């Protein structure tokens, strides 16, 4: 056994080494904290006493082409309450309720409303009195978690006017925050969600302000260390004309209402006429003058956050989806307005000549075919007798175009898909490139697309074969053909300008906020958005002239399908050419279409109108265009124009 004295001495030595090591470690840590890293911890301590408050910048205004304000801002007194304070201090809620003269339960409900961002204080009142604002500021120690401030809110001086075009602003969601991380968006920031507000977000947003406050241990402000005021966003000047936009919406609403009062003779009930759209563009440079969609909504409902109940109303199918911009997002069969493409294909390929005639008996029978599917007819089986191309366009002889469609297919080894090629050259079946989100691509069907759809989804597309009847339907814009109203306007704009097409544009330029127009002189724009040439379509005079003659007859000839709608219009001083269309969709009432341009000699306006389940194009769509042209030439939408043309067809 080891000696007891040696063992105790050894244990004492070990304990001494351990204690010495602990003192060395403690001394080293103190030296690090107090000397070597003192600066870093001094900075951290200073930061712990600093609060950073961000202030959203007022968004830029949206103006029409004549500098009239379409969207503005207003100063609003807002009182907010943090969710933490509401949860931890019920007394604050009670004091705030007493000050505002509301029930504490209503404030609690507001604080828990899911429409508000979970990251920012909740506005418990959007329009606080000056007295309430001052009281909260003077008694801040009694209102912990409460802030009284003045913010800029979006206002819409013209109510629902141009709602789909202008769009709306709401709180950014997480996906948007992630996408805009480089632009330093923060939780609770507003962001454009649709329309111009979304398309020109980077110009409209502005530069947020920043204030750094020194606070004490109780989070009371000691002093302001730094303040950078917010810089308002730029104003965006549009190509849109407020007067034309107002006329388009008024005419659209009026004709939809008149259609609902008319009887569908086939269905033996009134037309539903639930929705529609109207587009007005300048074919010379692609400038959009008006973009109307019905039903519409009030964008002001989104200011400050939209209640869930109101949002559900907007999404309810029974209300026909008022948030949908049908001018760019609605898909329709173009019906007889497509005859423009068929006529171009026939003349360019040499299938017909301008004077080629057929005898229109009102019915077209497909050769070597038996059964009801082999018989195609004009609307109402009306016979038009001997017609050439121009006359066929004027009276809308389906039989004339049925014959062309059949010949294109039976002689496809020579002509290929000539109708489809002409349609694509006019811009159909592809997005126009307009800045607004939500534009559909559309469809120009052909044998290859039919086959591919069948292979990809045989349940939805059981028929993978293209036959003569498909070409016949396509010749008058029926079948699987889908266009948006804007695309249809683009097609007629291309034809109106002899084959030259531009990208439709909404904005003309942006200017620094607050730079008013003085003495008739506009400020120098920060950026200008000029015309963008899109494509050139070969339209020689021998192709364009006979088609133009037929389109002019649609409006001016006594037998023209839109003649009734333009009765009394001064065509001698402002000539108009156009084409009506009536789209037939299984299980639905007829959809009315009309696309026109003028003055014919130097086209400056293209107007396209679509009214869902409202009847014949000549009866209800053409009157809308007529009223828009009335407004363009200064006659006003209340000029002597009919609401519904009883004799209108196609």
pTM attached to this predicted model: 0.86
pLDDT (average), residues 529-548: 96
Residues 473 and 374 in one domain: yes
Q: Residue 641 domain-assigned? A: no
In a domain, 217, yes or no: yes
Read off the CATH number of the domain in which 394 is found. Answer: 3.40.710.10
**Residue 430 φ/ψ, nearest 5 degrees:** -150, 150
Please tell me the distance from the alpha carbon of residue 479 to that of residue 285, in angstroms, as a whole number.
32
Domain of residue 324, CATH code: 3.30.450.330
Give the C-alpha separation, 394 to 355, whole Å. 14
pLDDT at 113: 76
Mean pLDDT of 189-212: 92
| pLDDT classification of 20: cutoffs 50, 70, 90 | low
Range of lowest pLDDT (77-86, 149-158, 536-545): 77-86
Statement: residue 2 has pLDDT above 70: no
Residues 8 and 76 reside in one and the same domain: no
442 and 304 in a common domain: no
Could you list the residue range(s) of the whole structural domain that residue 429 is in?
A: 335-536
For 357-363, what is the mean pLDDT? 97
- CATH number for position 212: 3.90.1310.10
Mean pLDDT, the chain, rounded, equals 88
Pick the range with the lowest mean pLDDT from 239-253, 451-465, 608-622, 636-650.
Answer: 636-650
Highest mean pLDDT among 106-120, 214-228, 400-414, 628-642: 400-414
Distance spanning both ends of the chain, measured CA to CA? 121
Separation in Å, CA 605 to CA 125, 491, 573, 622, 627: 47, 13, 15, 15, 13
pLDDT > 90 in the chain, percent: 63
Q: Is residue 646 part of a domain?
A: no
DSSP code of residue 67: S
- Under the banding of pLDDT at 50, 70 and 90, the label for residue 435 is very high
Q: How far apart are CA 408 and CA 531, in angstroms?
A: 36
User: Taking each helix axis from N to C terminus, what angle separates 622-632 and 242-260, rounded to the nearest 10 degrees?
Assistant: 150
Domain end (from 536, 571, 590): 536
Flag whether 70 is in a domain.
yes
Instruction: Please report whether residue 560 resides in a domain.
Output: yes
If you average pLDDT over residues 146-167, what whole number do you get? 90
Higher per-residue pLDDT: 494 or 35? 494
Average pLDDT over residues 309-320: 92
- Looking at the structure, do residues 382 and 479 belong to the same domain, yes or no? yes
3-state secondary structure of 279: strand
- How far is residue 190's CA from residue 198's CA, in Å, rounded to a whole number? 11
pLDDT at 576: 98
**Bridge-partner residues for 365, per DSSP?**
375
Is residue 109 one of the residues assigned to a domain?
A: yes
Residues 392 and 509 reside in one and the same domain: yes
Clarify whether residues 369 and 473 are in a common domain. yes
Of 154, 487, 68, 67, the C-alpha closest to 291 is 487
How many structural domains are present in the chain?
A: 4
My answer on whether 501 and 579 are in the same domain is no
The Cα–Cα gap between 85 and 166 comes to 37
Where is the domain boundary, 536, 561, 595?
A: 536
H/E segment holding residue 536: strand 533-536
pLDDT in the model for residue 29: 63
- What pLDDT, on the 0 to 100 scale, is given for residue 115? 64
* Residue 294 near residue 161 (C-beta atoms within 8 A): no
Per-residue model confidence (pLDDT) at position 150 = 75
Structure tokens at 420: 């489809």
Sign of the dihedral through C-alpha 22, 24, 28, 34: positive
- pLDDT for residue 419 is more than 90: yes
Q: Token digits for 592?
A: 């009315």
Closest CA to 163 of 234, 232, 286, 248: 248
The pLDDT score that the predictor gives to residue 47 is 52
- Name the pLDDT band for 70 (thresholds 50, 70, 90): very high
Contact 376, 366 (CB under 8 A): yes
What pLDDT, on a 0 to 100 scale, did the predictor assign at position 25?
64
38-52, 111-125, 543-557, 616-630: segment of lowest average pLDDT: 38-52
Q: Give the pLDDT band (50/70/90) at residue 479.
A: very high
Asked if the bond preceding 599 is cis, omega within 30° of 0, the reply is yes
**How does residue 432 score in pLDDT terms, banded at 50, 70 and 90?**
very high
Task: Mark whether 105 and 227 lie in a shared domain.
Answer: yes
Residue in 414, 393, 597 with CA at minimum distance from that of residue 491: 597
Residues 280 and 412 in one domain: no
Provide the pLDDT confidence category of residue 526 given band limits of 50, 70 and 90: confident
**45-70: average pLDDT:** 82
Domain-embedded: residue 649: no
CA dihedral over 416, 422, 423, 428, signed as positive or negative? positive
pLDDT of residue 27: 65
Please name which of 581, 579, 559, 555 lies closest in space to residue 568, comparing C-alpha atoms. Answer: 555
Query: What's the gap between Cα 199 and its chain centre?
Result: 9
The mean-pLDDT minimum among 62-71, 315-324, 369-378 falls in: 369-378
Largest distance between two CA atoms of the chain: 136
Confirm whether 597 is domain-assigned. yes
For the chain, give the number of residues: 650
On the question of pLDDT at 32 being above 80, the answer is no
Q: Give me the pLDDT at residue 19, please.
A: 64
| Chosen domain end from 504, 536, 568 | 536
Query: Is the domain of 78 the same as that of 27?
Result: no
- 304 and 344 part of one domain: no
Q: Judge if 459 and 314 occupy the same domain.
A: no
Instruction: Over range 618-628, report the average pLDDT.
Output: 97
Q: Which two tokens stand for residue 508?
A: 């003309």
């Amino acid at each position: 056994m080891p000696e007891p004295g040696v063992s105790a001495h050894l244990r004492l030595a070990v304990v001494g080494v351990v204690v010495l090591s602990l003192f060395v470690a403690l001394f080293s840590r103190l030296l690090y904290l107090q000397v070597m890293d003192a600066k870093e911890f001094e900075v951290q301590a200073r930061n712990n006493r600093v609060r950073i408050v961000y202030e959203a910048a007022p968004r830029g205004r949206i103006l029409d082409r004549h500098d009239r304000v379409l969207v503005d801002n207003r100063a609003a007194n807002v009182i907010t309450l943090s969710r933490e304070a509401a949860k931890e201090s019920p007394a604050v809620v009670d004091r705030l309720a007493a000050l505002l003269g509301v029930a504490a339960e209503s404030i609690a409900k507001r604080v828990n409303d899911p429409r508000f961002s979970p990251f920012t204080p909740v506005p418990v009142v959007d329009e606080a009195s000056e007295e309430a604002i001052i009281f909260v500021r003077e008694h801040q120690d009694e209102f912990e978690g409460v802030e009284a401030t003045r913010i800029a809110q979006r206002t819409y001086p013209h109510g629902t006017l141009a709602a789909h075009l202008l769009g709306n602003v709401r709180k950014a969601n997480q996906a948007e925050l992630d996408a805009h991380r480089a632009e330093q968006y923060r939780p609770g920031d507003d962001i454009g969600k649709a329309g111009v507000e979304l398309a020109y977000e980077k110009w409209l947003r502005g530069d947020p302000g920043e204030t750094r406050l020194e606070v004490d241990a109780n989070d009371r402000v000691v002093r302001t260390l730094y303040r950078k005021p917010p810089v308002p966003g730029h104003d965006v000047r549009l190509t849109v004309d407020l007067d034309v936009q107002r006329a388009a919406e008024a005419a659209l609403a009026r004709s939809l209402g008149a259609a609902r009062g008319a009887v569908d003779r086939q269905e033996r009930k009134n037309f539903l006429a639930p929705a529609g759209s109207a587009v007005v563009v300048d074919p010379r440079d692609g400038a959009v003058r008006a973009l109307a969609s019905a039903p519409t909504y009030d964008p002001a409902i989104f200011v400050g956050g939209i209640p869930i109940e109101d949002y559900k109303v907007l999404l309810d199918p029974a209300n026909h989806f008022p948030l949908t911009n049908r001018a760019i997002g609605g898909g329709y069969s173009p019906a007889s307005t497509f005859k423009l493409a068929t006529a171009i294909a026939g003349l360019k390929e040499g299938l017909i000549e301008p004077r080629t005639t057929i005898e229109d008996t009102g019915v077209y029978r497909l050769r070597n075919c038996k059964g009801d599917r082999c018989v195609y007819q004009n609307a109402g089986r009306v016979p038009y007798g001997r017609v050439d191309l121009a006359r066929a366009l004027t009276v809308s002889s389906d039989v004339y175009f049925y014959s062309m469609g059949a010949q294109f297919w039976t002689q496809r080894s020579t002509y290929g898909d000539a109708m489809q090629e002409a349609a694509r050259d006019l811009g159909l079946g592809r997005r126009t490139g307009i800045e607004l989100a939500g534009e559909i691509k559309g469809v120009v069907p052909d044998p290859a697309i039919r086959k591919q759809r069948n292979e990809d989804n045989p349940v939805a597309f059981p028929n993978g074969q293209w036959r003569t009847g498909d070409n016949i339907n396509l010749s008058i814009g029926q079948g699987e053909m889908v266009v948006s109203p804007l695309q249809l306007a683009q097609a007629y704009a291309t034809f109106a300008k002899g084959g030259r097409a531009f990208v439709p544009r909404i904005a003309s330029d942006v200017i620094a906020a607050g730079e008013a127009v003085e003495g008739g002189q506009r400020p120098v724009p920060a950026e200008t958005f000029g015309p963008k040439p899109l494509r050139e379509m070969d339209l020689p005079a021998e192709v364009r002239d006979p088609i133009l003659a037929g389109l002019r007859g649609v409006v001016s000839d006594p037998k023209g399908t839109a003649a009734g709608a333009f009765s009394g219009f001064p065509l001698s001083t402002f000539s108009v050419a156009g084409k009506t269309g009536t789209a037939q969709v299984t299980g639905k009432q007829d959809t009315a279409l009309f696309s026109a341009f003028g003055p014919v000699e130097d086209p400056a306006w293209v107007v396209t109108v679509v009214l869902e389940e409202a009847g014949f194009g000549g009866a209800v769509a053409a009157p809308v265009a007529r009223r828009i042209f009335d407004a363009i030439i200064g006659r006003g939408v209340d000029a002597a124009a009919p609401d519904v043309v009883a004799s209108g067809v196609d």
